[in-house]
Amino acid sequence: MYESIRVVTPVMRSDHKAVVSYAGHLQPTLKATTKKLYRPVTSAQHALFLQYISTLNCDISHDPSTDAQSLFDHFYETALQLLNSFYNRKEQSP
């Protein structure tokens, strides 16, 4: 009646196992590995970053011809440059 029957051990502590059955053909699944990017932060990096941004002039021009989107784009570009300068990205394998 069933083409595939598997007994699965639970992840949590238990005296029981689960029985999983499939009426159709079970396709084998391929496990994919992904690499995640992260930015490790050390106290020295953070101190240099705080020292640098304390010297920045963050005066925003209130020119009526400048719209909110272009101001945000400028802010985002500046923030991303600061992150890339002080906190290097690294890959983490699963």
Least-confidence region, from 15-19, 77-81, 90-94: 90-94
| pLDDT given at position 63 | 67
- Indicate the pLDDT class of residue 80, thresholds 50, 70 and 90: very high
Does the pLDDT at position 28 exceed 80? Answer: no
Residues 48-63, mean pLDDT to the nearest whole number: 82
Kindly give the pairing relationship between strand 18-22 and strand 4-8: antiparallel
The torsion defined by the Cα of 81, 87, 89 and 94, in degrees rounded to 10, comes to: -140
pTM of the predicted model as reported, rounded to 2 decimal places:
0.53
Per cent of the chain over pLDDT 90 is: 24
Residue 93: per-residue pLDDT: 66
Q: What torsion do the CA atoms of 76, 78, 80, 81 make, to the nearest 10 degrees?
A: 160
Nearest to 39 by CA among 93, 72, 94, 86: 86
Query: Please, which residues have CB within 8 angstroms of residue 45's CB and are 6 or more apart in sequence?
Result: 86, 87
